[in-house]
Amino acid sequence: MKLFVIPGGAFVENTYILSNEGSSEVLLVDPGSQTEEIEKQLNDLEFSSIKIINTHAHLDHIYGVEYFKKKYDALFLIHELEVPIVNVMIDAAMRFGLDEFSKPEIPKIDEFIKDNQEIEVAGSKFITIHVPGHSPGSLCFYFSKKLNPNIENEFVICGDTVFAGSIGRVDLTGGTNMNDLVGNIKKRLMVLPDETVLLPGHGPETRVGVEKQSNPFLLGYE
């Protein structure tokens, strides 16, 4: 398995690309406005198809979806509760007023995914974990050794739910409140093995055990 992180854009959003030898498919997670950087990484890979799966639909995570859908005839998957956020992405782009968001296109959703769904893509398998709070349909993608025996460490692509030393905002479109988000993080993510690597939508990777012990937001809210 090869996993690449491509940070970029005004909000330094992390896009992830996953590929495997023996698979002609590539997984693209949360393609943001850094389309050139993502394209450079894709050009180094051999593949015949792309599947785009998003953790959630905020503008910095979804801006590049339609570009890659059109270029590679890619399928786009996301939780159904994110549809209202997808539908207002043009308004969101205009509100920010940044050049990198100047040509927003609402992508067509090809398939809805739900909580606790096993998905096989690009030669790997993962389980979806619904962790609402930052947005109503926020999903995390858990790659376990049970489903992927050859991986060195279990990992979760966790979007904007939890970061190294922080958590996602709840004052953006579709957000609820801190207690809700913290509660869901504790119930759904902090129950995973301590050595599980967390790959967030912004910033560096961390581990479940580290965040359980030191994340001030998880320690400060019941």
Angle formed by the axes of helices 65-72 and 35-43, nearest 10°:
40
- Nearest CA-CA partner of 218 in 171, 182, 175: 182
- Nearest CA-CA partner of 60 in 200, 166, 167: 200
Q: How far apart are CA 37 and CA 55, in angstroms?
A: 20
pLDDT above 70 coverage of the chain, percent: 99
As a whole number of Å, the CA-based R_g of the chain is 16
State whether residue 178 is helix, strand or coil: helix
Looking at the structure of the chain, the number of domains it has is 1
pLDDT given at position 187:
97
* pLDDT, tens only, 18-32: 999 999 999 999 999
pLDDT above 90 coverage of the chain, percent: 88
Domain that holds residue 154: 2-220
pLDDT given at position 221:
66
* pLDDT, tens only, 91-134: 988 887 888 888 889 999 999 999 999 999 999 999 999 999 99
Longest dimension (CA), the chain: 47
Q: Do you know the residue count of the chain?
A: 222
Domain containing 70 — which CATH number? Answer: 3.60.15.10
What is the pLDDT tens value at each position of the chain, 222 positions in all?
A: 999 999 999 999 999 999 999 999 999 999 999 999 999 999 999 999 999 999 999 999 999 999 999 999 999 999 999 999 999 999 988 887 888 888 889 999 999 999 999 999 999 999 999 999 999 999 999 999 999 999 999 999 999 999 999 999 999 888 899 999 999 999 999 999 999 999 999 999 999 999 999 999 999 765
